[in-house]
Amino acid sequence: MNLSEALGRYIGRSIEAFLTNQFVQGRLLSVGDGFFTIQVTNPTYNNPIAQSTVLIQNVEFIRILAA
């Protein structure tokens, strides 16, 4: 099983994705081949983006918050 398949088990859960110089938090919406999409929970004024697609190759690690 690879990382995409393992992450697919947690669709709908709240996750934190740590990139090299960035942090994205939200609800996992979908997982594709090499990327996943998050419903961002705390969009900022500068980045009022509701959904963010993150490339797995840029991810340092992903934390799935306990329900």
Gap between the Cα atoms of 9 and 6, Å rounded:
6
> How deeply is 26 buried, as exposed, middle or buried, from its count of CB atoms within 10 A (0-12, 13-18, 19+)?
buried
Which of the ranges 26-34, 40-48, 58-66 carries the binding residues for other proteins, by CB under 8 A? 58-66
Q: Of 11, 18, 29, 39, which one interacts with other proteins (CB under 8 A)?
A: 18
Residue 58 structure tokens: 């840029």
Q: At closest approach, how far in Å is the CB of 51 from other proteins?
A: 20
User: What residues line the site for other proteins (CB under 8 A)?
Assistant: 1-3, 5-7, 10, 18-20, 56, 59-66
